[in-house]
């Protein structure tokens, strides 16, 4: 286990963005992967909405020149089922392609990924048209990384985010924003440990030191001073601040909202997610703020091997993949 964690953390420290995203995530979920390898995959269920299916039909006729992601189909005997969640750790099917390339979309609007002669498509069978060549090459690298013994969806976070931005965000934008705003009052950065308690005063001091600059940025960015509280039940922010943040989410494009949603889910903080997207926080700075209290406890009581270190590796992947996805989607 020690060697496993060491490999995970070393891969994350690399300054090369694309390979660390895949390799560190693969290491961080290896425990669940090992368990999944000893289980038979469940039978396909046509009513299930929790799986991707990638056709591996080798027919070379002109009517079947693409790969698309779809729901399970009992009639297709040459398909592999891919879990929707890339954190399941399961290995599905075998690699059914040899060459991964990118090319400009047929209509000249965006870029696509090719697996041999097939064009990769989204769950609704639409071409996976990506806004930039940089993002297309990054997703192609995720597919190229797949081993011959099986496809590992949990090593393709950029692919997942691309499908989210292209498919889920346009259809469920109001619900995504509503979900994010529902948790805004209980945001991680608004809750500080009590200052008048001997057990928590040191944590409070560190929170003041690290979080106050971010709170000041929120005030300057949105024009309202955030309310800081020490109750687990949360406080209530000013209506003006709530409205300003909600308007920012409504103005964001699909890639931005997908990245914000992903980072906020990992960080338990919409404020940190917005700060990353607006270039206020770097990835390492964001991770430090997210883990502020837990790292304090680790310093005091020690790190649990196979627990805290794996959590750190997983958090790094989730936050960095959202930031990298957004950066690549903006690069011309």
Q: Which two tokens stand for residue 285?
A: 């700075």
Per-position b or e across 39-75, b if 16+ CB within 10 A of its CB:
eeeeebeeeeeebbbbbbeeeeeeeeebbbbbbbeee
Q: Is residue 27 part of a domain?
A: no
Are β-strands 118-120 and 66-67 bridged in parallel, bridged antiparallel, or unpaired? parallel
Average pLDDT over residues 161-190: 94
Look-up of token digits 């393709």: 156
Domain boundary among 134, 155, 176: 155
**pTM of the predicted model, to two decimals?**
0.72
For the stretch 115-160, pLDDT in tens is: 999 999 887 787 799 999 999 999 999 999 999 888 898 899 999 9
Q: In the prediction, which pLDDT does 319 show?
A: 96
For the stretch 270-326, pLDDT in tens is: 999 999 999 999 999 999 999 998 888 888 888 888 888 888 888 999 999 999 999
CATH number at residue 96: 3.30.2180.10
- Asked if 263 and 130 sit in the same domain, the reply is no
Q: Is residue 324 part of a domain?
A: yes
Q: What is the largest CA-CA distance in the chain?
A: 74
- Asked if 189 and 143 sit in the same domain, the reply is no
Q: In the prediction, which pLDDT does 89 show?
A: 66
Domain boundary among 155, 171, 198: 155
- Asked if 132 and 201 sit in the same domain, the reply is no
Specify whether the CB–CB gap between 74 and 100 falls below 8 A: no
Average pLDDT over residues 50-79: 37
Domain boundary among 121, 136, 155: 155
* Domain residue limits at 287: 157-329
Which range among 40-44, 223-227, 279-283 shows the weakest confidence by mean pLDDT?
40-44
How distant, in Å, are the alpha carbons of 202, 282, 295 from that of 312?
22, 16, 10
Alpha helices in 164-307 (DSSP H): 169-182, 201-222, 239-251, 254-267, 270-277, 283-290, 292-301
């Amino acid at each position: 286990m020690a060697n496993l964690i060491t490999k995970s953390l070393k891969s994350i420290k690399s300054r090369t963005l694309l390979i660390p995203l895949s390799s560190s995530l693969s290491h961080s979920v290896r425990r669940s992967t090992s368990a999944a390898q000893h289980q038979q995959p469940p039978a396909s269920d046509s009513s299930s909405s929790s799986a991707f299916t990638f056709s591996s039909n080798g027919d070379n006729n002109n009517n079947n020149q693409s790969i698309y992601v779809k729901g399970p189909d009992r009639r297709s005997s040459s398909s592999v089922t891919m879990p929707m969640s890339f954190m399941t750790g399961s290995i599905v099917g075998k690699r059914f392609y040899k060459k991964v390339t990118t090319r400009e979309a047929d209509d000249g609007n965006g870029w696509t990924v090719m697996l041999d002669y097939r064009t990769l498509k989204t769950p609704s069978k639409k071409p996976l048209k990506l806004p930039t060549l940089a993002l297309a090459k990054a997703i192609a690298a995720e597919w190229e990384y797949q081993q011959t013994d099986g496809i590992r969806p949990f090593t393709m976070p950029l692919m997942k985010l691309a499908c989210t931005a292209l498919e889920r965000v346009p259809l469920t934008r109001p619900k995504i924003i509503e979900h994010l705003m529902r948790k805004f009052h209980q945001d991680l950065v608004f809750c500080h440990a009590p200052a008048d308690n001997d057990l928590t005063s040191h944590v409070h001091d560190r929170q003041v030191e690290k979080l106050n600059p971010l709170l000041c940025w929120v005030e300057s960015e949105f024009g309202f001073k955030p309310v800081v509280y020490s109750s687990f039940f949360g406080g209530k922010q000013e209506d003006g601040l709530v409205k300003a943040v909600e308007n920012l989410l409504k103005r964001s494009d699909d890639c931005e909202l997908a990245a914000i949603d992903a980072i906020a889910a990992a960080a338990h903080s919409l404020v940190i997610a917005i700060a990353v997207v607006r270039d206020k926080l770097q990835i390492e700075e964001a991770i430090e703020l997210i883990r502020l209290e837990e790292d304090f406890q680790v310093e005091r009581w020690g790190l649990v091997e196979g627990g805290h270190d794996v959590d750190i590796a997983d958090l790094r992947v989730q936050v960095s993949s959202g930031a990298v996805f957004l950066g690549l989607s903006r690069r011309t």
